[in-house]
Chains A and B, each alone.
Chain A
Amino acid sequence: MEATMLPEVTAAGIIIKAIIVLAVIAGLAAFGTYVERKILAYMQRRLGPMHVGPHGLLQLAADGIKLFTKEDIIPQHANKVIFSIAPVIMAATAFIALGAVPVFPDFTIPFIDVYVPSIASDINVGILFVLGMMAAGLYAPLLAGMSQANKWGIIGAARTAVQFLSYEVVTGLSLLAPIMLVGSLSLVDFNNYHADQGVWMVVYQPVAFILFLIAGYAETNRTPFDLLEHEAEIVSGYVTEYSGLRWGLFFIGEYANMITIGILASVVFLGGYNDLWIFPGWFMIIVKIAFMFFLMLWVRASWPHIRPDQLMWLCWKVLMPLAMVNILITGFVMMII
Chain B
Amino acid sequence: MYEFIAFYIFAISTVVLFGITVMSKNVLYAMTSLAGGMVMISGFFFLLGADFLGVVQLIVYVGAVMALYAFAMMFFDATKDIKEKHQNPTLTIVLGALMALVFVFIFSAPIIGENIEALYPVVEGVGNAQAVGMVLFTKYLVPFELAAVMLLVAMIAGIILAGKKMDHSLTTHDDAVDEVLHHRFESESDAIHDAEKIADRAEREGAGK
A residues adjacent to B (C-beta < 8 A): 77-79, 81-82, 85, 123-125, 128-129, 131-133, 135-136, 138-139, 142-143, 146-147, 149, 154, 157-158, 160-161, 164-165, 168, 184-186, 307, 309
Contact = CB atoms under 8 A, between A and B. Distances in A.
Contacts of A132: 55, 58-59, 62-63
B128 interface: yes
A146 B128 contact: no
Contacts of A143: 28, 32
B55 A146 contact: no
B17 interface: no
Contacts of B169: 309
B79 A149 contact: yes
B102 to A, nearest CB: 33
Contacts of B62: 132, 135-136, 139
Given A78-B79, A79-B26, A146-B78, A128 B67 contact: no
A82 B39 CA distance: 17
Contacts of B129: 125, 184-185
B74 interface: yes
Contacts of B51: 123-125, 129
B171 interface: yes
Given A136-B58, A154-B74, 9 more contacts: A82-B28, A124-B128, A125-B55, A132-B59, A135-B59, A135-B62, A136-B39, A146-B70, A157-B74
B127 interface: yes
Contacts of B74: 154, 157-158, 161
Contacts of B128: 124-125
A131 B78 contact: no
Contact of B28 (A79, A133, A160, A184): A79
Interface string B23-49: 000101100100100010000001000
Contact of A81 (B29, B35, B63, B127): B29
A184 B125 CA distance: 13
Interface of B: 26, 28-29, 32, 35, 39, 46, 51-52, 55-56, 58-59, 62-64, 66-67, 70-71, 73-74, 78-79, 127-129, 169-171
8 contacts: A123-B51, A125-B129, A128-B52, A128-B55, A136-B35, A138-B67, A160-B70, A165-B67
A158 B127 CA distance: 38
Given A132-B58, A146-B73, A124 B67 contact: no
B171 A136 contact: no
Contacts of B58: 129, 132-133, 135-136
Contacts of B64: 168
Contacts of A77: 79
A225 B63 CA distance: 19
Q: Residue among B67, B73, B127 with the most chain A CB within 10 A?
A: B67
A206 B63 CA distance: 27
B171 A307 contact: yes
A168 B79 contact: no
Nearest to A186: B127
Contacts of A309: 169-171
B79 A139 contact: no
B186 to A, nearest CB: 25
B133 to A, nearest CB: 11
B52 A125 contact: yes
B52 A185 contact: yes
A142 B78 CA distance: 12
B73 to A, nearest CB: 7
Contacts of B171: 307, 309
Given A185-B129, A309-B171, A139 B35 contact: yes
Nearest to B171: A309
Contacts of B67: 138, 161, 164-165, 168
Closest 3 pairs between A and B when the two form their complex, measured CB to CB: A132-B58, A132-B59, A128-B55
A210 to B, nearest CB: 23
Q: Residue among B56, B66, B71 with the most chain A CB within 10 A?
A: B66
Q: Residue among B29, B56, B70, B171 with the most chain A CB within 10 A?
A: B70
Given A124-B51, A142-B70, A135 B63 contact: yes
